[in-house]
A and B are shown apart, each in its own frame.
Chain A
């Protein structure tokens, strides 16, 4: 019979093991960085998403696992972590991990405002800030364009006061691209976040070219279609051209496909695993596929 005490002891032991900083991989080269057009600041081209993977509530052992993932992410040279008030406990879990890791200076915090109440936006951002335990966010994005007009006003005002550094908007899975485009044209956005991967390529039509034209940084969400692509491809052999682009796994193939688009600034795969986070950050490296190989890659994946 598992008593409460025994359970807590086991959980604590488990947590302690995961909280240990992951051993540094031998001489990892710094990941490829891309410039944020509005400032010229460079950030590593693979970040870390937290949807589902970091929503572990107050489960101490799982919080420590997430901390382990964050530790490996920073160790590999990663910087941008993306979250939202919509992601359950992900924000306090990030805050917990940052605290355990001594608040790494490398962090580039990307948050969202997600409330239908225009008046509640500033208060929600402040609450998120406290949960992360950061002085200010680097980037705040209007999540899925919810109440976007009012929130953009708040965000630009906060940026002017120096209370955040960059302003953005997000969408996913091809939703509301027309409105998204209109907002991109009308407002001086620093960042946009959208879905783009080897099978979901609608963004190539208008949004990615527009971002390049307007000098807007692009964060790519759902690079693995929420894991559906990595799961589907897991049992397929890596094609010969994978070695041409230095990809050792399907995850790296998928990320390199995304990063090879000239308009993309950062891709933000989410993971609950240390080996995966290392693999993902390591994908931000040359060589990347050229346009012809990208076409072949997409065609190959379509046939599988």
Chain B
């Protein structure tokens, strides 16, 4: 589009906050009680990391891979694209992230074998992704509009980044860009809508980047 610099973020916002939050209500109502299963799978990921059972990385990669593909297909492609045509272009990236996560898991790239402070903070980020549904009532919205890990993109991206912080490894440069970009996009969308919640995905992305840098620093030795 020519003269693109004359466009503000508001020029690209296609929907009202009311329609945006009702979209989550409709999506949750359509999928219920699948949310319980996706949340349980998140808890399983945390337990796998804590127990460090042999081959846990493979399972984590598989679970996260399936969830990313489902969020891309079910939420972005079939739901969000209804009010935001740009979601059609983002959905394939979620599919790709799913494939990458499964491949990383299968090749040992998601093994969380190190116990250090950054690793634990990474787990805390996973936990905050799982606790994300609490934001809805905390910010005065009904429970039914809650964003749930494995169903909505923001908590899925946050928990995934937490896991990547905990795992470290050479797959990180491949696995981090899509969740980080999504959180940036989501934060900007919420900000443009004037929603205070915008801070949450942006702060989560910032925290993840800081932890990823810390994790790669030479002083971060295995405990």
Q: Is the CB of A55 within 8 A of B19?
A: yes
Whether B15 and A88, one on each chain, are in contact in the complex, defined by CB atoms closer than 8 angstroms, is yes
Given contacts A55-B15, A59-B23, contact A88 B144 (CB under 8 A): no
Q: Are B144 and A62 in touch, CB under 8 angstroms?
A: no
Is the Cβ of A62 less than 8 Å from the Cβ of B19?
yes
Taking CB atoms and an 8 Å cut-off, the chain B residues in 153-194 that contact chain A are: none
List A contacts of B82 (CB < 8 A).
57-58, 88-89
User: Is B3 touching A176 in the complex (CB atoms < 8 A)?
Assistant: yes
Write out the residue numbers on chain B whose beta carbons fall within 8 Å of the beta carbon of A58. Answer: 26, 82
Q: Is B219 an interface residue (CB 8 A)?
A: no
Q: Once the chains bind, are B22 and A59 in contact (CB under 8 Å)?
A: yes
Residue A56 is within 8 A (CB to CB) of chain B in the complex:
yes
Within 8 A of A (CB), among B1-45: 1-3, 6, 10-11, 13-16, 18-19, 22-23, 25-26, 29-30, 32
**In the bound complex, what is the Cα–Cα distance between A86 and B13 (angstroms)?**
11
* A3 cross-chain contacts in B, Cβ below 8 A: 32
Residue of B nearest to A228 (CB): B10
Say yes or no for A301: interface residue by CB 8 A criterion: no
Q: Check B2–A56 contact: CB distance below 8 A.
A: no
A4 at the interface (CB under 8 A from B): yes
Task: Confirm or deny: B83 has a beta carbon within 8 angstroms of a beta carbon on chain A.
Answer: yes
Q: Are B84 and A4 in contact (CB-based, < 8 A)?
A: no
The docked-state distance in angstroms from the alpha carbon of A3 to that of B35 is 12
Chain B residues in 8 Å Cβ range of A89: 82-83
Check if B29 sits within 8 Å of A57, measured CB to CB: no
**Max chain A CB contacts within 10 Å: which of B2, B19, B32?**
B19
Asked if B89 is at the interface of the complex by the 8 Å CB criterion, the answer is: no
How far, in Å, is A66 (CB) from chain B's closest CB? Answer: 11
What is the CA–CA distance of A7 and B144 in the complex, to the nearest angstrom?
9
A173 within 8 A of B: yes
Q: How far is the CA of A4 from the CA of B31 in the complex (A)?
A: 8
Asked if A2 and B29 sit within 8 Å, CB to CB, the answer is yes
Chain A residues with Cβ under 8 A from B13's Cβ? 52
- Which residues of chain B have C-beta atoms less than 8 A from A61's C-beta? 22
Contact call A176/B10, Cβ cutoff below 8 A? no
Q: Does A8 contact B (CB under 8 A)?
A: yes
Interfacial residues of chain B within 48-106, with CB under 8 A of chain A in the complex: 79, 82-85
Closest-CB distance, A112 to chain B (whole angstroms)? 14
Q: Are B85 and A88 in contact (CB under 8 A)?
A: yes
Given known contacts A4-B29, A89-B82, A173-B6, is B1 in contact with A144 (CB within 8 Å)? yes
Would you give the shortest CB distance from A213 to chain B, in whole angstroms?
26
State whether A59 touches B30 (Cβ < 8 A): no
Contact of B2 among A55, A88, A176 (CB under 8 A): A176
A230 at the interface (CB under 8 A from B): no
Pair B16/A2 contact, Cβ less than 8 Å: no
16 pairs, CB–CB < 8 Å, chain A vs chain B: A7-B29, A55-B15, A55-B83, A56-B15, A56-B19, A57-B15, A59-B23, A88-B15, A88-B82, A88-B85, A89-B82, A89-B83, A144-B1, A175-B6, A226-B10, A272-B16
Known: A52-B13, A88-B83. 20 other contacts (CB 8 A): A2-B143, A3-B32, A4-B29, A4-B32, A11-B26, A52-B15, A52-B16, A55-B19, A55-B83, A56-B15, A57-B23, A57-B82, A57-B83, A59-B26, A86-B14, A88-B14, A88-B15, A89-B82, A175-B6, A272-B16
The 4 closest A-B pairs by CB, nearest first: A57-B82, A7-B29, A57-B83, A88-B14
